[in-house]
Structures are given as C-alpha cells and as structure tokens.
Chain A
Amino acid sequence: MPKECEKRFLQPGKKGNKMDQILNITPGHYISLSVILFCIGAAGVLLRRNAIVIFLCIEIMLNAVNIALITFSRYFDQSRGEIFVFFVMAVAAAESAIGLALLIVVYKQKKTIDVDEINLLKG
C-alpha cells in the first residue's frame, strides 16, 4: 500500500524512460501548478496597489487552492474536496459582490482606489 501510494503521487521509482515520466501526469504536477498560481497571486497582492487588481489576485489564489483541493480529493478517492470547492465558489461570489460594492463606496468618497492612499481609519 505505501509503495503504491508513493508511486501514484510522484512516480519516483521510474528512472528508465524520461519521456514516460514527462507524459505521466501525476497529482504532483497538479499540486505544482496550484503552488505556482498561488504564489503569482500572492506576489500580485503584495506588489500591486490598485484595489481591483488585488481583488483579482485574491481570486487567482482561491482558484489555486481549488485545484489543490480537487487534486487531493481525487487522490484520496473522496468527494469532500469537490464539495469544499463548491462552498469556496459560493463564498467567492458573495465576497466579490460585497467587495466591489465597498470599492465603489470608497471611490465615491476618496476618488481613488489606490490602497496606499486609502487611510480612512488612520488616527
């Protein structure tokens, strides 16, 4: 069982055919994609100052997590991960509606959505 488990995740045992290794898509590939997308999203949140782009980067991060959840759900032969992704999507929809409404309210007051210039709570 452990041997099979390891083989299904990364296929480290196969050393012979390089082409086979590339063409064999394992859960490790999907998790790598998820990690790369999450880091792009995190970089965007830290680097950009436009509040809408920060919002878009948060959506990228949520999607990266969704890929990881579905990958592990398939890997462990369960449907819980998929259900969780469903709820993540519901929360993302609610969040986007509220967040964008808040952005419009802030824009009406400050005439900008640059996060460096929005300091309404600064004492």
Chain B
Amino acid sequence: MEITIVKPVLFYIFSSLAIATALMVIIFRNPLYSATSLVVTFFSIAVIFILLGSEFIAVMQVLVYAGAIMVLVIFVIMLLNLKNEAPIKNLLRSFFAILITGILFVSMMFVLVKGASENLEGAKRGVITEAVINETGSIEVFSMALFSEYLIPFELASLLLTAAIIGVVILAKGMRKKVSSTGEKGK
C-alpha cells in the first residue's frame, strides 16, 4: 500500500510545483526572479522524469538545464543589468495572446488526452518493456540504443555543439571591435 501511494503523491506534489513555478516565470516582472523560479520548475520536471522511469534523462535535466543553461541565463541577466518590465499597455494584444493560448490548450487536451486513448489501439509496441528495463537497467537500455542505432545522430550532435561554440566565439569577437572588455562570453 505504501509503495503504491508514494508515486501518485510525488507526482501530484511535483507536477503542481512545476506548474506553479512555470506560472511564476511569466508573472514576475524581474527577469532574475523568473530565472530562479524556472530552476525550481526544472528540478520538479527532473523528479517527474524519475517517476517515469528514465533516471539518465533526469540527471541530464539537472546537469544541462538547471545547471549549465540557467547559470548562463542568470549570468547574462546580471551582465545586462535590466530594468523591470513595464506593465502591459496593449490590452487587445494580451487578450489575443490569451485567446490563442486557450484555443491551443483545449485542442491539445482534446487531441492528446482524449483522442490518444481511442486512436492508439493496435499501435505497434517495442520490446523495451518494464520487465526488460528492470532486468538490464534503464541507462543500459538507453545507451545500447544510443551507441548502436543512433550513433551517427550522436556524432552530429557533437558537431552541432562545436558549431555553436564557434558561432559564439565569432559573435563575441565581433563585439570586441566596438566595445572593449566584453570578450569573456566567448571563452
């Protein structure tokens, strides 16, 4: 009984935490507060990944998103020394924004949550069942697929990251011509 009750309780706690902090990201005027609450969102989503049974992705989530990307974002926010965003003046635009989001929400809920249960009947299933994962471990299953079937995309991802590094260095170098002492970003 205890085992069956822990998972739903964790799911409800961390999903509501993720939704609340995600809302706080778009409510706060100060971008630094938004970034800080987004860190909490990322941690809650990592817990959701663990509940789904993919520990490796959860660790990657904490390392890449909550660690690397958020540090970069907070660094840039502090570097730019921004003022708080002014309140929304154009009410018509925000009305349309909320309308579009509402339509998106209703249609996605309908298609994904309602429609999926009807249309997925007889869909093809793989071989990585829960029994296989429990026997070999989720990281082993993941890495087996990554380094055999998806080896070329994996190598291309490293190429992409190299290209990104070169791009950032070029952007930072171009800046140095006009404004001095801004080259830290490129390194």
A: residues with CB less than 8 A from B are 1-2, 5-6, 9-10, 12, 22-25, 28-44, 46-50, 52-53, 55-57, 59-60, 63, 66-68, 70-71, 73-74, 76-80, 82-83, 85-87, 89-98, 100-105, 107-108, 113-114
Contacts and interface: CB of A to CB of B under 8 A. Distances in A.
Given A35-B113, A80-B145, A101 B185 contact: yes
B160 interface: yes
11 contacts: A34-B112, A37-B19, A44-B26, A63-B45, A63-B61, A66-B57, A78-B126, A83-B145, A98-B171, A100-B76, A101-B185
Interface residues of B, number: 90
Which of A30, A63, A71, A76: most chain B Cβ within 10 A? A63
Interface in B1-37: 4-5, 7-8, 11, 15, 18-19, 22-23, 25-26, 31, 34-35
Interface of B: 4-5, 7-8, 11, 15, 18-19, 22-23, 25-26, 31, 34-35, 38, 41-42, 45, 48-49, 51-54, 56-57, 60-61, 64-65, 68-69, 72-73, 76-77, 79-80, 82, 85, 88, 94, 97-98, 100-101, 104-105, 108-109, 112-113, 116-118, 120-130, 141-142, 145-146, 150, 153, 157, 160-161, 163-165, 167-168, 171-172, 174-175, 178-179, 182, 185-186
